[in-house]
Structure 1
Amino acid sequence: MFPDRVLSGMRPTGKLHLGHYHGVLKNWVQLQSEHPCLFMVADWHALTTNYDNVNEIEKSVWDMVIDWIAAGIDPAQATLFIQSRVPEHAELHLLLSMITPLSWLERAPSYKDQLEKLSHKDLDTYGFLGYPLLQAADILLYRSNLVPVGDDQVPHIELTREIARRFNHVFGKEVGFAEKAEAAIKKIGGKKGKLYNDLRTRYQQDGDVEALEAARALLQDTQNLSYGDRERLFGYLEGGGKMILPEAQPLLSSVPRMPGLDGQKMSKSYGNTIGLREDADSVGKKIRQMPTDPARARRADVGNPERCPVWKLHQVYSNQTVQQWVVEGCKSAGIGCIECKQPVIEGIIAEQKPMFERAQPYVEDPTLLKSIVADGCEVARDMARDTMRDVREAMGLSYG
């Protein structure tokens, strides 16, 4: 069995905003203290839709990594790297394309959806059609078995699982597999070897799931096995071949719908965002200019918070006491709209303050940032090389 490992990434297509923080980055910050995490700047993915604006991608790469650190991602806990600096992503993508049916890519729910949303762009390209496969390669390259996603991305993880399953089925049947597995059983010793065989028989003959779990635990605790022998015995246990690529699991995260300045979901395409590291004066100006309940045309008019976009931000940034003050003051015309907006301004600025502090050393000295990313790329590439060695061997490409 492969150890728990998290992979997630973002496309560098512009400055990050508070929607990214509440929707993704807060979850990353929590995950980095629970699992080994790799966080990827997905610059090749950005090219699938922004190939005609590469200057924005280049600038966004470094801005985005600073934003990650500002949000609380700790380079001492997580590996931060750039996709294109690890060429094995492209190699695995190519090799997986040899066994991935075209229909699997065409049925990806986001494929037709994005074609419609981005109808103004020429996306009749293989890169755009094949990006779910590149995404699968990203995950499988690090043998990541935990991928944090929202509900809408689950089909992509299922595609990744299907591709891993197909790869293991086609290429996991190494020559002499059963003989190598039997030899590996002898290496773990007479008593453990007998127990493994007994558990394997109980699972394969009787479908005893508890026996399967017990055998897996036995292998995990066995120290004198090579990586290859361990994976052979996991595959032999379940009646298959050597497991080369693991089947990733979606790590479902409850992604809050961060409201934008107009009450819709905060999104660059709606022009309703507040930047992760936006100047305090700009934040204040944007909030003060937000629309409110249309019923409150004058200060003395009573209103209803449920009809006001500012109320949605109070639900993110204000405590119960302030929220109660807003409801009572709005419905009685006891407070004005400008007065109502002030706690939101203060809440956002307070949230951003530590972000500016964490980001400042890297803004002042970009070489610090590039050093962190260079180290992360080396760590990622070492993992990628290990996977590709096994993939090439399985596919008969290890000659030379």
Structure 2
Amino acid sequence: MMKPIILTGDRPTGKLHIGHYVGSLKNRVLLQEQNQYDMYVFLADQQALTDHAKESEKIKDSIGQVALDYLAVGLNPEQSTIFIQSQIPELAELTMYYMNLVSLARLERNPTVKTEIAQKGFGESIPTGFLVYPISQAADITAFKANLVPVGTDQKPMIEQTREIVRSFNRTYQRDVLVEPEGIYPENDAAGRLPGLDGNAKMSKSLNNGIFLSDDADTVRKKVMSMYTDPDHIRVEDPGKIEGNMVFHYLDVFGRKEDRATIEEMKAHYQSGGLGDVKTKRYLLEILDRELSPIRERRLEYAKDMAEVFRMLEKGSQKAREKAAQTLDEVKEAMGIRYF
């Protein structure tokens, strides 16, 4: 019996931060270790170029950095197929065929695309590639006949668009060639949307408000000690607020079951007064170091041989291309455009 297929990945626009880690990377490793799925993990460099077309060197550098992050958290190329999107030309060809099944108006109505266009401030200068990237995502998913796609809840419209394309294709060409995927959504999306250290926005490199998997221990310490807490908690004896306090938010996200009692005691102490921000930050540092130290060490070890990292990506891309080529062949057969 064939294993269900999972497709998941990231846009390589920089190193991955701890928001990515708790939001998706840990879950991917857990799925991998269950050995119940055939998992494909890809670096979506073509998608990244839709709004970074003039920064191709940045994307190229990020490929290696994200691959290191993948390996460091425990993704194993012997268990999961890790590949680069642009190295699979079949994906672009599938995108072209699917474009004929989707109207411009439907793309413009996609809530996720509308939100991202507003966030990026394109105005009237929306790159065509960016507008149609939901179709490219559909090609990514269907090329591997993925049954399951782990994503955040904000990506539900993208999964639904893929499902629409699958139904349209199979109905139009009267063949059940493509597989209709299901999204895997987190029960609590808060971890995947980890606020920045300043508490004002989602963690990101551009805002310089994140902790990255590649940060050394001293960098993490400095960042944690500068975290936003309660601006009215001036003296240790003053009662403090835990709502909006990033230290306690991070403790809730990164604390394990055995830490819960201590965290709840600290919350009560902080709210009643007598607990200083420095002590809470030092405790958070202990929690984060327990989680990040092994990742940091593995990352440094893999970084010693980047040539081997790229050989791993090449091998994964070759395997992924074979799978995508098989699907493309079936698509062209269904469409009646296999002439030779």
TM-score, structure 2 as length reference: 0.91
Deviation at 1:265, TM superposition (A): 5.2
Which residue of structure 2 aligns with residue 320 of structure 1?
Answer: 260
The match for 2:203 among 267, 275, 286 is 267
Which residue of structure 1 aligns with residue 180 of structure 2?
Answer: 247
| TM alignment of 1:23-62, pairs within 5 A | 23-32=23-32, 33=34, 34-62=36-64
| TM alignment of 1:79-118, pairs within 5 A | 79-118=81-120
How far, CA to CA, are the matches of 1:312 and 1:138 in structure 2? 35
Secondary structure of the residue aligned to 2:49 is helix
| Correspondence 1:161 to 2:163 | yes
| Correspondence 1:377 to 2:310 | no
How far, CA to CA, are the matches of 2:127 and 2:277 in structure 1? 49
| TM alignment of 1:111-130, pairs within 5 A | 111-119=113-121, 123-130=125-132
Secondary structure of the residue aligned to 2:240 is coil
Which residue of structure 2 aligns with residue 74 of structure 1?
Answer: 76
Which residue of structure 2 aligns with residue 294 of structure 1?
Answer: 231
Q: In 1, are the aligned partners of 2:15 and 2:214 still within 8 Å (CA)? A: no
Deviation at 1:293, TM superposition (A): 1.7
How far, CA to CA, are the matches of 1:123 and 1:140 in structure 2? 29
How far, CA to CA, are the matches of 1:122 and 1:365 in structure 2? 44
Deviation at 1:123, TM superposition (A): 4.3
How far, CA to CA, are the matches of 2:37 and 2:123 in structure 1? 39
| Correspondence 1:363 to 2:303 | yes
How far, CA to CA, are the matches of 2:48 and 2:123 in structure 1? 14
Deviation at 1:122, TM superposition (A): 7.0
1:155–1:379 distance in 2 versus 1, CA, 3 Å: same
Q: In 1, are the aligned partners of 2:7 and 2:40 still within 8 Å (CA)? A: yes
Equivalent position amino acid for 1:95 in 2: Y
Which residue of structure 2 aligns with residue 210 of structure 1?
Answer: none
Deviation at 1:94, TM superposition (A): 0.9
Secondary structure of the residue aligned to 2:51 is helix
1:87–1:150 distance in 2 versus 1, CA, 3 Å: same
The match for 2:147 among 141, 145, 152 is 145
Q: In 2, are the aligned partners of 1:49 and 1:123 still within 8 Å (CA)? A: no
TM-score, structure 1 as length reference: 0.78
Deviation at 1:3, TM superposition (A): 5.3
Which residue of structure 2 aligns with residue 284 of structure 1?
Answer: 221
Q: In 1, are the aligned partners of 2:197 and 2:227 still within 8 Å (CA)? A: yes
1:334–1:139 distance in 2 versus 1, CA, 3 Å: same
The match for 2:290 among 350, 360, 370 is 350
1:379–1:293 distance in 2 versus 1, CA, 3 Å: same
Which residue of structure 2 aligns with residue 212 of structure 1?
Answer: none
How far, CA to CA, are the matches of 1:117 and 1:259 in structure 2? 17
Of stretches 373-382 and 303-312 in structure 1, the one that deviates more from structure 2 is 303-312
C-alpha RMSD of matched pairs (Å): 2.0
| TM alignment of 1:159-198, pairs within 5 A | 159-172=161-174
Larger radius of gyration: 1
How far, CA to CA, are the matches of 1:150 and 1:63 in structure 2? 23
Of stretches 382-391 and 311-320 in structure 1, the one that deviates more from structure 2 is 311-320
How far, CA to CA, are the matches of 2:236 and 2:101 in structure 1? 66
